[in-house]
Structure 1
Amino acid sequence: MKDLPAALRPREKLLALGPAALADAELLALLLRTGLKGTGVLEWAGELLKRFGGLSGLLGTDVAALREVKGLGPAKRAELQAVLELARRAVRAELAVRPVFDSPDKVREFLRLHLSARQSEVFAVMFLDSGHRLLSYEPMFQGSIAQTTVYPREVVKRALALNAAAAILAHNHPSGLAEPSRADELLTRRLSDALALVDVRVLDHLVVGGAQVVSLAERGLM
């Protein structure tokens, strides 16, 4: 980094032009601070982004995967995990005060941060109030990579306990392919019918596959 002209160093560039002027690799280099033997920090940052499929993929990965990265010690892993948690909390706070329909991109980013790096299939529910603001995000069921067993009764119980008026369903495809399956469509109908009995409306079912998030509602599948 010291070999670069001052104007091109990430820290100086950020201070002069603001964080939006920095590329993803430059922002990550600021967190990493130092590179590896024979590899500068900017080059290493680029390699990490490529390995994990971009910034969202890196920040969404789990601790076990980060431990496998040569040169990424406990301190740097902790910093990356802290950044991820800050991102989750920031998006969650916004969804708690704004209707989800006002920020569909935030919903997608929130779910991507929570689910994209999971190695097994997780089924989660975003419970919403009558203004469609977030009451609670709850990973409710976890299964093998192939399938997850979801119990509508448990989802209904949580909806009643939270006094929810609406819900957004979500699950990940660890394969990285976000295409909804026929089983996903059938599950959406089962849960929609069960929650309708207690006046809770299912607004959408989102499938997370790596960096991609697909909406069943947008596809006309519910």
Structure 2
Amino acid sequence: MAITDLPLDARPREKLLARGPDALTDAELLAVLLRVGVRGKSAIELGQQLLEQCGGLPGLLQADSAARLKLPGLGPAKSAGLLAALELSRRGLAAELQRGPAFSQPAQVRRYLQAELAGERNEVFLALFLDTRHRLIASERLFQGSIDGASVYPRVLVQKAMLHNAAALIVAHNHPSGVAEPSAADEALTRTLKEALALVDVRLLDHIVVSQGSTVSLAERGLM
């Protein structure tokens, strides 16, 4: 069924304007960006197909350009539109964290980290460097590893914290397996990083583990 055959209030663009983005499914939001479908598929059906092929929205947005261009119905123009939407989202979330205390905005922090890390195929370790009011100074990917893990060096993290003149940090890494549950190694690493940063009077506020479907805060678990 073509989108024009749907009732007016069921069409993605009209629904978005009338009810807001939360009322739309991922496929419907993609349809708004894609604008048109392909022969035999509406933009909504094309959006759903792309999500299924990529394992969800994070996988689609994090796919490299070459892989994305090979997806049926997704040429350079539509691929560029998706990349622009993702980058605008990241910049908007980063701007929110720069304006207000990151540690008092856990929902924004989690959304930002999801946008950054959830679709990565390999493990990536990222640090949010914060000022004395816990506003974001910089977000930096420090270590990358195989799907089995990344080697994280406390000395490098301490050096970066001093370079940014940071008063506090939030660190995060993804679990490409899709399970955000912290491992014993994650807990041990958190303790090591906290002790190393304390030597230069920098607080480690949280360590967040990210997967495509969820995030887990070690601070909330009482593991800090």
> What TM-score do the two structures reach when normalised by structure 1?
0.91
In structure 2, runs of 5+ residues without a counterpart are none
Secondary structure of the residue aligned to 2:215 is: strand
1:137-192 Cα distance to aligned partner (Å, 9 max, x none): 10001111112111111111111111100001111111111111111111111111
In structure 1, runs of 5+ residues without a counterpart are none
1:111-141 Cα distance to aligned partner (Å, 9 max, x none): 0100011111111111100001111110001
Match of 1:29 among 28, 31, 51: 31
Match of 1:72 among 54, 71, 74: 74
Match of 1:170 among 169, 172, 176: 172
Distance 1:196 1:48, change over 3 A: same
Paired residues of 1:124 and 1:140 also in contact (CA < 8 A): yes
Number of positions where the alignment pairs a residue of Structure 1 with one of Structure 2: 222
Corresponding residue of 2:220:
218
- For residues 187 and 158 of structure 1, what CA distance do their matches in structure 2 show? 17
Q: One-letter code of the match for 2:180?
A: A
Secondary structure of the residue aligned to 1:90 is: helix
Tell which deviates more after alignment, 48-57 or 78-87: 48-57
Distance 1:144 1:179, change over 3 A: same
Alignment pair present for 1:83 and 2:85: yes
Alignment pair present for 1:187 and 2:189: yes
Instruction: Give runs of aligned pairs for residues 1-222 of structure 1, distance below 5 A.
Output: 1-52=3-54, 54-56=56-58, 58-222=60-224
Paired residues of 2:34 and 2:78 also in contact (CA < 8 A): yes
- Post-superposition shift, 1:23? 3.6
- For residues 134 and 186 of structure 2, what CA distance do their matches in structure 1 show? 23
Paired residues of 1:56 and 1:211 also in contact (CA < 8 A): no
- For residues 122 and 13 of structure 1, what CA distance do their matches in structure 2 show? 37
- For residues 68 and 188 of structure 1, what CA distance do their matches in structure 2 show? 40
- For residues 181 and 18 of structure 1, what CA distance do their matches in structure 2 show? 38
Q: One-letter code of the match for 1:183?
A: A
Q: One-letter code of the match for 1:44?
A: L
- Post-superposition shift, 1:17? 4.6
- Post-superposition shift, 1:37? 2.1
- For residues 13 and 134 of structure 2, what CA distance do their matches in structure 1 show? 40
The percentage of counterpart residues that share the same residue type is 58
